[in-house]
A and B are shown apart, each in its own frame.
Chain A
Amino acid sequence: MKSLRIGAGAGFAGDRIDPAVDLARDGNLDYLVFECLAERTIALAQLSKRQKRSPGFDPLLRERMEAVLPLCRKNGARIVSNMGAANPRAAARETARIARELGLHGLRIAAVGGDDVLRKVRRKLRPENRGIAQEQLVSANAYLGADALLDALRGGADVVLTGRVADPSLFLAPMIFEFGWALDDWNLLGQGTAVGHLLECAGQLTGGYFADPGYKDVPNLDTLGFPLAEVDENGEALLTKLESSGGALTIRTCKEQILYEVQDPARYLTPDVTADFTGIRFHEIAPDRIRVRGARGTDRPRDLKVSVGFYEGFVAEGQISYAGPGALSRARLARDVLASRLRWIPAADLQLSFIGVNAMHGEALSTAGPEPYEVRLRGAARHLSEPQARKVVQEVESLYVNGPAGGGGVSTSLRENIAMDATFLPRSSVAPSISFEVA
């Protein structure tokens, strides 16, 4: 039976590069897939491109490509990634340039676009909808499916760079292409989507976001390896990682990851299929070697999901710490001072909390414990103009001199906030495009 080895090279934009290099070198891979585009990342990339601060693709594109292109060329592995972000064509040109610099002549790089639907969404979202003015719209990107990548693979691309594509679809596309799966064989697409979903967060399958000492121990977390799947033609797969790498790939890590960011496990919606994870079984056949089978699928959703980015003013944040006897009462006094000085901010747009006490989940969900040795007051406010946001920052800084005794270690930040919402568009109004570069 034909099989395919697909590795996960990244689980987010800023992810480590060395585990991907290890997989490219020693993984005997057919494909190396880098998932680098979180919900808001593409809006930030659009903004940065529009303001001409960057070309709009992933800032680590060059570093990643320089590290893995020679190994992938040598070992015959193709690369698939959404590192194209807001500008897949420019990312493809840059990758061709890098390949030429490395002497990798003839390398074919495909750019898959068409996910940018800002003009269409602008027409659809009238100001009365959600009370949002048109000028606040920053970006709108449809989630393309695996089908949008097939022509790139058929065209012999060694590297496929996309913008917004559903994460599991980046992994499913090579399976459809290599195995000749029909685009309406829902059970196969469901199983392939399950494999893609397990791989898309890279280290989260191999022991990342998992360790809880004494309850769930993970060996050598500092050298965490990224996973790879050996997928069979029938969609079943063996999940594993390099023996030399740290971490652990177990039934437990697999169970946590298959349900990660899932609502109804019987109806996981992607552009390709409505996947059903409720029949999935994991079997450990050896340490760090887990077989997965049993996912199914039904018809794909009619419409495509679109993530829409909006300007929502500025967010300001400031922190200051208090330690030793009376730390918490001094921090509380500092909070009261800050609350009074910032009373011009609507209550819903200001949050004051104590790191070490209740900053993660709020007062109501935090369990009271013994008083900590040190406490960090945190103030955060939103929907501000830039000058207002500066005032918040100044008020926290002023606590050094004008606040309670012994306040130290102030840090502040001020950023323009892009918020994300989702809407839907009919498939017929989204047209994927493709172009090639040759190094």
Chain B
Amino acid sequence: MKLRQIAHARAGDKGSIVNISLIAFDETDYPLLVEKVTGEKVSGLFEPLIMQPVERYCVPSLGALNFVLHRAPTESVTRSLNLDAHGKGLSFVLLNMEVDIDRD
């Protein structure tokens, strides 16, 4: 299934850094997120965009993960030529990720 079925997300930016929070709709799904949405997998997903592996922070009290993406220095909000210079829409790239979870 797509992550969007079990979690929501928000992207924010600071210079060339983009952070994407990933929050379980139901806190009991948080361990699944921890298990399935590894830093390695998310690094692979954003590979064309990032200069170093994605950092993953776990916040169990919120049932949330926080991913930090380091883009190239030319890809900051004040420098990028992308239509989405901030990276605001990147949260939906993450939510579109397929995870192997069986659920009816």
Contact = CB atoms under 8 A, between A and B. Distances in A.
Interface of A: 39-40, 209-210, 212, 215-216, 252, 255-266, 277-282, 294, 312, 315, 348-351, 353, 355, 359-362, 364-365, 367, 378, 380-382, 417-422
Grouping DSSP codes into helix (H, G, I), strand (E, B) and loop, the B interface class, with mixed when no group exceeds half, is mixed
B61 interface: yes
B85 to A, nearest CB: 10
Contacts of B12: 259-262
A294 B23 CA distance: 18
A287 B9 CA distance: 22
Contact of B14 (A263, A359, A381): A263
Given A262-B19, A365-B46, A256 B83 contact: no
Interface string B67-92: 01000001011110111100011100
B62 A419 contact: no
Contacts of A380: 81
Interface size class of B (residues with CB under 8 A): 35 or more
A252 B81 CA distance: 32
B64 A259 contact: yes
A294 B61 contact: yes
Given A259-B21, A262-B12, 17 more contacts: A39-B77, A209-B10, A261-B13, A261-B19, A263-B19, A278-B59, A279-B61, A281-B61, A349-B81, A351-B81, A360-B89, A361-B82, A361-B84, A365-B93, A378-B83, A419-B78, A421-B15
A256 B10 contact: yes
Contacts of B89: 360-361
A255 B21 contact: yes
21 contacts: A39-B77, A39-B78, A215-B8, A255-B63, A256-B10, A256-B23, A259-B59, A260-B10, A262-B21, A263-B57, A264-B68, A265-B66, A359-B82, A360-B84, A365-B46, A365-B49, A382-B79, A382-B81, A417-B79, A419-B78, A420-B76
Most interface-central of A258, A350, A360, A367 (chain B CB within 10 A): A360
Contacts of B59: 259, 265, 277-278
Nearest to A254: B62
